[in-house]
A and B are shown apart, each in its own frame.
Chain A
Amino acid sequence: MSGPSFWGQAYEIGLKDLRVEGRTGEVLNITIPFGAVALLLIPLAIGTDRPLIASIGPGMFWVVTLLFGMLVTFRQSATESSANREMMVLLGVDPAAQFAGRVVASVLLLLVFEGVLAPATIILYNPDPVEGWAILILVLLLMAVGLALIGTLASGITAGLRSRNTLAPLLVAPLALPLLVGASQTYEALAQKSSILTPILLLLAVVLGLAVVGVLTARFLEEASR
């Protein structure tokens, strides 16, 4: 009996990941509160310099999103035991479909994460208002997709390694740097009413590049993890 199509497989993998998250509540009950606490502590540490707090607010949001967002994607992959990975191989599931399914699930979780932390940042930091909310929403989406791609890719590279918990963050940092630069420069450009084309193109190029690399290397990484 033939199985589902590529996107059918990706859908099943993504649905399973979200169902597991629904049971464990890792993102909702652990990562989001910790991210919010991190955002809260920074202005407390800085003191009463309101203009400074307002100016660093957006940057803090991107940094917290990047660091805690990584935890979201890593936790997703931690649910896969070697027995489960081998079962997927024997079921003939396309590794690229697994990659796609995990990325989509992580993107949805990261959007929830950003959806809670963005209002928290506005309340805590009171940043200067900028025009172009639609652009900012696009940046939030690209950041979520980029982080999901990086996290899933790093999880794939380190799957089956004993040192995966140490190695994965070291892989993520350089890969996530262009995302951080692209997101913060877009905000900066909106604040200064200058062109956003370059940072948006940077974000798009990073996301596209990561997606291509992730899909093309999925089978190789799956084999290497066995």
Chain B
Amino acid sequence: MQLHGVAVRYGRVPVLKGVELAVPSGEAAGIVGPNGSGKSTLLRVLATLLRPTEGSVAVFGTEMGEATAFAIRRRIALIGHQPALYPQLTLRENLAFVARLSGHTDERVDEMLDVVGLGGAKHRRAEQSSHGMQRRVEFARVILTRPDLLLLDEAHAGLDREAGQLVDAVVENVRSRGGAAVFVSHELDRMLPLVQSTYELTGGIVIAGSSS
């Protein structure tokens, strides 16, 4: 995945300016920066959800355009600030909905919920579940759909140690299959053991990048 000179403006307000970033297959990159630095916007660009005002984005070696974006989106998973769940549905129904839309069977749903430790709580509604449980459903979604590019926005936030280890396992799973992952986080210490490169974003500009 490669970004070259990417800029994003909301109206006249510049959010990203000339961002250069590359994440090879099988690696994970971390992006750190203060609030409002453009981290979440950058993730949305990588997820093909937001078209940059300037510059080019190549994902899986393909230059991003509307037609190519449509073709590769199924290979991308985004875990954002807000859980992508329907509050009125149970945890199992939420995952089953995603599973059926991505061509998986209901048996796999129960299997995945057991993997993320939600086997006993699967019939609880999302609105009656804790943030950690909602996050676990999202991790189950990632394991189920096997994306080649995983994008995580503050994935460790509000999670206990056990759920945090699940994040690590999910990232390792994607990397081991030759995929790539990009983290956005304030918690540099939790992110560092998982990433091969880090980028610091301030005021929409990548001011530093380092590889380990």
CB of A122 within 8 Å of the partner chain: no
Q: Mark B70-100, 1 if CB is under 8 A from A, else 0.
A: 1001101110111111101100010001101
Q: Report the separation of the CA atoms of residues A79 and B27 in the bound assembly, to the nearest whole angstrom.
A: 36
Closest residue to B83 on the A side, CB-wise? A83
Specify which chain B residues have a CB less than 8 angstroms from the CB of A91 in the assembled complex. 73-74, 98, 101-102, 145
Q: From DSSP, what is the main secondary structure of chain A's interface residues?
A: helix
Q: How many residues in B have their beta carbons less than 8 Å from beta carbons of A? A: 29
Shortest distance from the beta carbon of A120 to any chain B beta carbon, whole Å: 28
CB of A24 within 8 Å of the partner chain: yes
The contact of A3 among B84, B103, B125, by CB within 8 Å, is B103
Closest residue to A79 on the B side, CB-wise? B86
Given A20-B89, A86-B78, A87-B84: A4 and B97 interface contact (C-beta under 8 Å): no
CB of A9 within 8 Å of the partner chain: yes
Contact assessment for A1 and B73 in the assembled complex, using a CB-CB cutoff below 8 Å: no
Residue in A87, A88, A223 whose Cβ sees the most chain B Cβ within 10 Å: A87
Specify which chain B residues have a CB less than 8 angstroms from the CB of A23 in the assembled complex. 88-89, 125
Contact assessment for A92 and B73 in the assembled complex, using a CB-CB cutoff below 8 Å: yes
Given A20-B86, A91-B98: A86 and B47 interface contact (C-beta under 8 Å): yes
Specify which chain A residues have a CB less than 8 angstroms from the CB of B82 in the assembled complex. 81-83
Shortest distance from the beta carbon of A8 to any chain B beta carbon, whole Å: 8
Closest residue to B82 on the A side, CB-wise? A83
A residues apposed to B, CB below 8 Å: 1-4, 8-9, 12, 16, 19-20, 23-24, 79, 81-84, 86-93, 223, 226
Query: A4-B100, A12-B101, A91-B98 given. 4 additional CB < 8 A pairs?
Result: A3-B102, A20-B88, A89-B73, A90-B77
B residues apposed to A, CB below 8 Å: 47, 49-50, 66, 70, 73-74, 76-78, 80-86, 88-89, 93, 97-98, 100-104, 125, 145
